[in-house]
Amino acid sequence: MSESGVRRRRGPRRALTENEILDAALSLLDHGGPGAASVRAIAARVGVAPNAIYTYFPDKAAVVDALVERLLGDVDHDVFADRTQPWRERVEALALELRAKLSAHPGAVSLMIGSRLDGPSARALNERLLQLLTDAGLDPTDAARASYLLFVYIFGSLALEVADVQQTAPLPTESQRIATRQPAFSATSPDRYPLSAAAATTMAAYISTGQYLWGLRRILHAVAAPVPPKPGKVPEA
């Protein structure tokens, strides 16, 4: 029981922890883009030989998975677990929290897209959403379907948002990004795409928080509808 008593392994002390590796990976992603988190770069950042990483993770995919898991685990559940609040505001809080936490790391989001999203944190998030939607009066099946609908919306929005800037570094301000998009949409040919040309400013703001909330509220409105909008044939469960 000498020190903290938790030493059990037989060999030499580890020079690192898994978390230090993930810190390095995230830091590299944050100011180098999705390609910057190579095993060799991570190893160099934490001061070991490249293959030392494989003592902590079986392969690079495991590093990415662990990073995604940690990012999802960082979302603050207290905000939307408070069942005394109206359920719509709780969902909005969750959606905004996720967007804020994740879009701060666009490089990591690029890696997260294409991940399974079935780790413990994703499961916990799904359970929270089911609670929320059950509180809203949905039956279990509809709650689950609505939960996935929200997942698709939240992560789909994030994917399109980070895909919009292909660059390496952290995202500029939202208004800066919208301003950057503006000229391209304003230059839309009114002959070939008349409606698009007329809606140029709205389209430049596709990546805005306003658009995000607009869509989210529409979805919440539909989800809350007591009667299915079109009860016609919806195959299988």
Partner DNA sequence: TACACGATTTGTACGCCGTACAGAAAACGG
Partner DNA sequence: CCGTTTTCTGTACGGCGTACAAATCGTGTA
Residues 57-76 that bind DNA (CB under 7 A): 59-61
Name which of residues 62 to 101 contact a copy of itself (CB under 8 A): 88
Binding flag, residue 230, DNA (CB under 7 A): no
Spatial distance between the Cα atoms of 51 and 39, rounded to a whole number of angstroms: 8
**Considering CB distances under 5 to 8 angstroms, the limit depending on partner class, which of DNA, a copy of itself, none binds residue 11?**
DNA
Task: Judge contact between 149 and 219, C-beta under 8 A.
Answer: yes
Of 15 and 160, CB closest to DNA: 15
Q: How far is the CB of 53 from DNA (least distance, A)?
A: 7
Total number of residues binding DNA (CB under 7 A)? Answer: 27
Please pick, from the candidates 15, 160, 169, 184, the single residue that binds DNA as defined by CB under 7 A: 15
Examine residue 15 and tell whether it contacts a copy of itself (CB under 8 A): no
Among residues 19, 31, 50, 82, the one that binds DNA under rule CB under 7 A:
50
**Which residue type, as a one-letter code, is found at position 8?**
R
Kindly state whether residue 179 participates in binding a copy of itself, applying the rule CB under 8 A: no
Q: Which stretch binds a copy of itself (CB under 8 A): 25-33, 35-43, 47-55, 163-171?
A: 163-171
Q: Which residues bind DNA (CB under 7 A)?
A: 7-16, 37-41, 47-52, 54-56, 59-61
